[in-house]
Structure 1
Amino acid sequence: MFNELFGVVTFIVTFLLLVAMYRCFGKHGLIAWIAIGTIIANIQVIKTIDIFTISATLGNVMFASIYLATDILNDIYGRKIAKRAVWIGFSSTLVMIIVMQMSLHFTPSPIDTSQQALDSIFNLVPRIALGSVIAYIIGQHLDVLLFSLIKKVFSSDKTFILRAYGSTIISNIIDTALFVLIAFYGSMPNAAVFEIFITTYLLKMISTIFNVPFGYWAKSMYRKGKISKLDEGY
């Protein structure tokens, strides 16, 4: 029961921090969130937990927050800014992988106590690292495209929920399927791979369903003029 309760707390804290970044730094705060979030999520995904009677990896809430940040950027600032943020997130993950892999190859001092822990965390299995990067860049670009297409039909402020849900639900299917197939297909039974896909997608969707109010909150800050000076100040 602890994991379930702490999962709810983690969800709330994550999205409060996202909104706080936007309130403090404007659109640059959301772009920074995407960069930070991709790194955190790719570290979290290493850990497996049991929650709501299913086994799942961490990172789903953080990935959901990245999608919401992208949707907010797309809705307020346009597709070009959202795509730039996606590439910054991708680049951040790539830099982390390259730099940390190089760091691991330094010969540690005899008094070093961190090499084994760092190796466990950052010596990513190539397939998992590849799957994560490919799934992220394709899934995020699809989300940006679908959001823009839906916005052409449902453009009012009240229909942000339709744009956010519609784009994320579809793009997350592709994102999750690509990651699971690249990372795990052939290395474990097909039934296990399918179970990982279902549980990962389900948790992402639960996070998406409950995160849209935070998106409306962020948009209301922009409408009330609380963000414009922050955007102009950079």
Structure 2
Amino acid sequence: MTNELWAVIAFIATFTCLVVMYRLFGRNGLFVWVAVGTVIANIQVTKTIEVFGITATLGNVLFASIYLATDILNDVYGRATAKKAVWLGFASVIVMVLLMSISLGFKPSEADIAQESMQTLFGLVPRIALGSIIAYILGQYVDVYIFNWIKKRFSSDRTFYIRAYGSTTVSSLIDTALFSVIAFYGVLPNPAVMEIFVTTYVFKLITTICNVPFGYLAKSFAKDVD
């Protein structure tokens, strides 16, 4: 299959799983989604692909789903709950980096087949994770703040899309700029870093535009979950 088809599959699978997690487990399902999604996205982002004729990193769809999860938590349960999810995602990345760094420190046996691959993958993760952590915390806090600012002016369920689009458009710009510079500056050529920034931001915007219906679907059964 082509990368473009995989991109469509990844989008549908990601946001369907988010909605199912919320439907089955309520706010705890979204907490788990933020924690697990942040870890997986930081692993995915080590892979660079070409899709729709441009270079991009993986993880964009999953990162966008994390923003939607915190927007739902913010809208349904309040700002304090959304902040709790942000810090849960932060803690999950710290734990992943710490434990995987310790794992790489073990001397492999002669029969081992995983060390080289793990070193290639998780050897990059600390710097990427640093960029992700800084960008994630600042971006999410901006998202929560702007979401609440807009909510004071457009508070009905029908205007959820205004809050989601408005907050994510600004926060994703900050998030993507910080991450691209910290994670890739000096590692990749400057034009490649700029291309990753532009394409990542564009993909996040497109994903945000397309994922808000999933947010409405999740919110539609908010009364049936905790």
Give the TM-score normalised by the residue count of structure 1: 0.93
Paired residues of 2:83 and 2:141 also in contact (CA < 8 A): yes
Q: What's 2:148 paired with?
A: 148
- Supply the RMSD in Å over aligned alpha carbons: 1.2
SS at match of 1:56: strand
Distance 2:16 2:192 in 1: 34
Match of 1:226 in 2: 224
Superposition pairs of residues 152-163 of structure 1, within 5 angstroms: 152-163=152-163
Q: Which residue is equivalent to 1:24? A: 24
The one-letter amino acid paired with 1:226 is: D
Q: How many residues align?
A: 226
With 87-96 and 121-130 compared, the bigger mean Cα shift is at: 121-130
Task: Determine helix, strand or coil for the equivalent of 1:26.
Answer: helix
- One-letter amino acid of the structure 1 residue matched with residue 52 of structure 2: F
Return the offset for 1:177. 0.4
> What secondary structure, in the 3-state scheme, does the structure 2 residue paired with 1:50 have?
strand
Structure 1 portions without partners, runs of 5+: none
Counterpart of 1:63 in 2: which secondary structure? Answer: helix
Aligned counterparts of 1:96 and 1:150: Cα–Cα separation in 2 = 34
Question: For residues 5-34 of structure 1, what are the alpha-carbon distances to aligned partners after superposition, in whole Å with 9 as ceiling and x for unaligned?
Answer: 121111001100000000110000001000
Alpha-carbon distance in 2 for matches of 1:13, 1:194: 29
The answer on 1:116 being equivalent to 2:120 is: no
Percent identity between matched residues is 63
Report the equivalent of 2:47.
Answer: 47
How far apart, CA to CA, are the structure 1 residues paired with 2:164 and 2:27? 18
Q: Deviations over 1:26-56 (max 9, x none)?
A: 0000010000000000000011111000011
Aligned counterparts of 2:31 and 2:127: Cα–Cα separation in 1: 27
Partner of 1:171: 171
The alignment partner of 1:154 has SS state of coil
Aligned partners of 2:10, 2:207: CA distance in 1, in Å? 11
In the alignment, structure 1 residue 78 sits paired with structure 2 residue 75? no
- Structure 1 residues 125 and 38: alpha-carbon distance in aligned structure 2, compared to 1, 3 A threshold: closer
